[in-house]
Structure 1
Amino acid sequence: MPALDDPQTRTAVDALRAGALRWLAGGVLAVVLGLLMGAAVVRIVENGGSRPPFAGLMVVALVAGGVAVTVVGLGSLVRVRRWTAALARTEWRSGLLRIAGPAVLQVEPLGFDEFTDEPLRLQLMSTAVWRTRAVQQLNGADVRYAEVSEQEWLLTADGAGTLYGARAARRR
């Protein structure tokens, strides 16, 4: 059964997509507000009024910040689309999560033998502290994981409500 057919997975993907759309909409809204504010300031000055203090700085901040947030939203939408396609063609595997460092994970597949098998070593992709801590709280828990590409993996656990992206950890 493809991983995307699981109701929990579908809910998690939908939540990630909604978050990406919120980022995108917020960025576009900030750019539009910045442009409207700039046009309003120009109209005020053209009609003989005094320029509002910090108006130019606010316009630049709204437009620049809005562009940055829009790029983040687009990137998130692309990532969710890639993850959705991968989950539609692969199945979840089960394993035990071990935390090996602040964002370094090891997944021991079911039936793992520490003397003969090699665990899956991953580096969490998230830079958000709260997401890293949420994964760290799963230490010793049963998780499900799926391969997106040779270097990218997804993790989730029952009740997590989200997907965590990770990259294959490089050997030192």
Structure 2
Amino acid sequence: MIPAADDPHTRTALAAHQAGAIRWLGGGAIAVVLGVLLGAAAVTLADSGRRVPGLGLAVIALVLLGLVGIAAGAGALLRTRRWQRALAAAPWRTGRLRIAGPAIIAFEPEGFDELDPLQEPVRLQLLSTAVWRTRAVQELDGGEVRAAPVGDGQWVLTAEGLPTLYGAKAARR
């Protein structure tokens, strides 16, 4: 069995995921720096007797949004690293994807027999809350996908022609 990380498509998707994480992290850091600089400029203006309406709110917004961007980027970067380690040890499993709810999917591994009462599909809930990502996965209903467990009820899935990986967790019943 070939590890999923050895697949060129997987390496490209992981690199794209990591690049996105770095963009979020860098953008957040830039926003915080700009907020601090704008805050210093606001203090200088206030000392000279000039006040600019809304400048304080802009400083707070920049810093808060920057911190959110840093948190999102750091989380995505950690997720990418975890996925890289897990996919280096696990092979892709092929199977069919079925939509079981708004963000709930069922992965039926190759050889799955839906008439066998002892077999159950792997029920997963997408990690992404982005509507466009959820719809992209829902369009795969009935299609062949590749999935791999990445630890603690977490899975990664993709399909031929998709430029990215989708994270999912085991769905509660």
TM-score (norm 2): 0.95
- For residue 148 of structure 2, give the secondary structure of its aligned residue in structure 1: strand
Q: Which of the numbers 124, 142, 145 marks the counterpart of 1:140?
A: 142
Task: Give runs of aligned pairs for residues 42-81 of structure 1, distance below 5 A.
Answer: 42-46=43-47, 48-81=48-81
Deviations 1:119-151 (A, max 9, x none): 111111111100000000000110000000131
Measure the CA separation in 2 of the matches of 1:131 and 1:84: 21
- For residue 51 of structure 1, give the secondary structure of its aligned residue in structure 2: coil
The equivalent residue for 2:3 is: 2
User: Among the aligned pairs, what percent are the same residue?
Assistant: 59
The equivalent residue for 1:14 is: 15
Matched residue type, 1:131 = R
Instruction: Flag structure 2 segments of 5+ consecutive residues without an equivalent.
Output: none
RMSD over aligned Cα atoms = 0.9
Cα distance, 1:52 vs structure 2:
1.3
Task: Give runs of aligned pairs for residues 150-161 of structure 1, distance below 5 A.
Answer: 150-161=152-163
Measure the CA separation in 1 of the matches of 2:163 and 2:56: 42
Measure the CA separation in 2 of the matches of 1:147 and 1:38: 46
Instruction: Flag structure 1 segments of 5+ consecutive residues without an equivalent.
Output: none
Measure the CA separation in 1 of the matches of 2:64 and 2:125: 31
Task: Give runs of aligned pairs for residues 78-117 of structure 1, distance below 5 A.
Answer: 78-116=78-116, 117=119
- For residue 20 of structure 2, give the secondary structure of its aligned residue in structure 1: helix
Matched residue type, 1:165 = G
The equivalent residue for 2:125 is: 123
TM-score (norm 1): 0.96
Q: Does 1:33 align with 2:45?
A: no
Measure the CA separation in 1 of the matches of 2:138 and 2:128: 12
Measure the CA separation in 2 of the matches of 1:107 and 1:65: 36
Matched residue type, 1:12 = A
Measure the CA separation in 1 of the matches of 2:69 and 2:107: 33
Runs of 4+ in 1 over 2 A off after TM superposition: none
Measure the CA separation in 2 of the matches of 1:165 and 1:120: 14
Measure the CA separation in 1 of the matches of 2:53 and 2:171: 50
Larger CA deviation: 63-72 vs 23-32: 63-72
Matched residue type, 2:89 = R
- What is the aligned residue count? 170
Cα distance, 1:73 vs structure 2:
0.7
Measure the CA separation in 2 of the matches of 1:169 and 1:64: 32
Cα distance, 1:45 vs structure 2:
2.4
